[in-house]
Structure 1
Amino acid sequence: MLRFSKMHGLGNDFVVLDCRTTPFALDETTIRALADRHTGVGFDQLLSVEPARDPTCAFYYGIWNTDGSPARQCGNGVRCVAAWLHRAGALALGEPVRLESPSGPVAVRLLSAHEVTVDMGEPVFEPARIPFEAAAEAARYVIEVNGEPLEIGAVSMGNPHAVVQVPVSPSRGMARQAPAITMHPRFPQGANTGFAEVLDRGHVRLHVHERGVGWTQACGTGACAAMAVLHRRGEVDERVRVDLPGGSLRIDWHGPGHTLWMTGPAAFAFEGEWPTD
């Protein structure tokens, strides 16, 4: 039997596996079966807690989407990994610790058993590093979506994001646009697509369509990406509350040359076992 913990960050839900002593060995078919919300456990991402490859980090965490594809970063996921490690006795409250993700190290600190602040690194706007196809870096790009021009921001938070600023109370066009943006050819690796409403300079409402997953209750890197794009444009201040369908995150960024910090909850749902044969 495969033991697991079911966790979530604002409804963005995860299956967490303890791979500290046993190597991760699930194939794509098994991951898809686990992810199925009718016949499996159900999750947005699968997280594996493993020994660190980087000697400056305490642990490594792997990330897989519901379709079995690997992911590079997950903001809500890293908070859940930190809370899981704290419950396992491997991470103390208030102690800054570096964890290794597929996109590199991140610093985490538990404010309480269920609230974590994470240094998500400095947002990357250089098109080649996102990756996004563009002749030069810009605060706004126009892409063609379903035969019509659409203005977006593009940024990497360890994974690629497209950010669309929309009016308060946006139309239902998001449902039609989102999959086309997520798989747009100018994002060679696909993108997570965020639709951001600026309610005031310290308050944003956000809906995110994730590559390999679809619409989610919350997306930590999506909240970071939206704040970074909007702050760079001068639309929001250095501290922003981002409301997602599953709840709120606090994002702090002082601009270029500074790393971005995300603060939010991590919750345990239940423990379980999955038959492996």
Structure 2
Amino acid sequence: MEFVKMHGLGNDFVIVDARKSPLLERTDWEDVAIKVCDRHYGVGADGLILVLPSEIAHVGWRILNPDGSEPEMCGNGIRCFARYVYERSIVTDKVIQVETLAGIIVPEIQVENDQVVGVKVDMGEPIFERSKIPMTGEGDQVVEEEIDIQGNPVKITALSMGNPHCLIYVDKVEEAPLTEWGPIVEKHPLFPKKTNVEFVEVVNKNEVRMHVWERGAGPTLACGTGACATIVGSVLHGYTDRKATVHLPGGSLAIEWDEKSNKVFMTGPAVEVFQGTYPLK
């Protein structure tokens, strides 16, 4: 199996063109993802991404977490995916339609002097309806709702960017109990499909710092959909403007929640690290 290792702000992925036989017919990609993503016995990655054919978009994709689970979307992954398919002429348009479990996502390749310098992604509209996040309980929007975490009353704000996110605002993100509370909130009974968990420190109206516990992956250096959810939630709280920068452990993303279209746009890098082959049975 030929692959390319890429990353967006340190959130790294193994990308495979699986459009043709025999890869297209494989049904064990969950097991492959677990083996390939292992950082000691495999290639090592936060996810395995497959390039697939699509009848409704330029190209289709599938992404699997290191535990074999399948998220609806991944912001950093979609930027890497877009650069991969563009530079290999799988899609020649700079504006690319990608079929995902979260619907059609549209990344735009940014080019300067014939070189790809970044990717801007139309991430679609945020979803606030509780049942569509999805989240159990009463009420519609989930803004500063109190839940219990190990005996601690904690206020959360939840929404979906095609996948579920739970925001917890803290004074200092470096001191947030990421590895302690992250797995607890991820699997909290309120979230029937689990959730990504973001700990957010507001710096000013134009900047926030965020650390993330990703559903199915644990702590990662960056999360694109999480950055989008963070700015949307911060605007709801009045903490930031609609256009702001999210500083993550792996780098920064520019996020804009457009008032006119209600869509969220994410801009950031996508970097190729190396190419290789992986033996499949």
* TM-score grouping bracket, smaller chain normalisation: over 0.9
Give the letter aligned to residue 97 of structure 2: R
SS, match of residue 97 in structure 1: coil
Q: TM-score, normalised by structure 1?
A: 0.94
Which AA in structure 1 matches 2:109?
A: L
Q: Does 1:117 align with 2:120?
A: yes
Question: Equivalent residue for 1:61?
Answer: 61
Unpaired runs of at least 5, structure 2 = none
Q: Percent identity, aligned pairs only?
A: 39
User: Is 1:129–2:132 an aligned residue pair?
Assistant: yes
Distance 2:48 2:92 in 1: 24
Name the CA distance, whole Å, in 2 between partners of 1:32 and 1:219: 20
Report the CA distance between 1:256 and its aligned residue.
8.1
Q: Aligned pair in 2 of structure 1 residues 28, 90: CA closer, same or farther (>3 Å)?
A: closer
Cα deviation code 1:72-123 (max 9, x no counterpart): 1000011011100111013447x32211112110111111214000000110
Say whether 1:104 aligns with 2:103: yes
- 8 A contact 2:6–2:80 mirrored in 1: yes
Distance (whole Å) between structure 2 residues aligned to residue 271 and residue 235 of structure 1:
42
Which residue is equivalent to 1:18? 17
State which of 20, 44, 53 in structure 2 corresponds to 1:51. 53
Does 102-111 or 253-262 show the bigger shift?
Answer: 253-262
CA RMSD of aligned residues (A): 1.5
Counterpart for residue 155 of structure 1: 159
Residue-by-residue CA offset, 1:111-136 (whole Å, 9 max, x unaligned): 12140000001100100000011311
Q: CA 1:215–1:77 in 2, change beyond 3 Å: closer, same or farther?
A: same
- Is the contact between residue 122 and residue 256 of structure 1 (CA under 8 Å) also seen in structure 2? no
Q: Given the alignment of the two structures, is residue 71 of structure 1 paired with residue 76 of structure 2, yes or no?
A: no
1:250 CA displacement: 0.3
Bigger CA drift: 130-139 or 80-89? 130-139
The one-letter code sitting in structure 2 at the alignment partner of 1:130 is I
Distance 2:164 2:260 in 1: 18
* 2:191 matched residue in structure 1: 187
Partner SS, residue 225 of structure 1: helix
* Cα gap change, 1:233 to 1:256, in 2 (>3 Å): farther
1:249 and 1:262 in contact (8 A); partners too: yes
Task: Using the TM superposition, give the Cα deviation of residue 68 of structure 1 relative to its aligned residue in structure 2, in angstroms.
Answer: 0.7
Partner of 2:36: 34
| Alignment partner of 1:234 out of 232, 238, 246 | 238
In the alignment, structure 1 segments of 5+ residues that lack a partner are none
- Cα distance in 2 for partners of 1:169, 1:193 equals 13
Partner amino acid, structure 1, of 2:244: V
- 2:173 touches 2:199 (CA, 8 Å); kept in 1? no
Asked if the contact 1:228/1:253 (under 8 Å) is kept, the reply is yes
Divergent runs of 4+, >4 A:
none
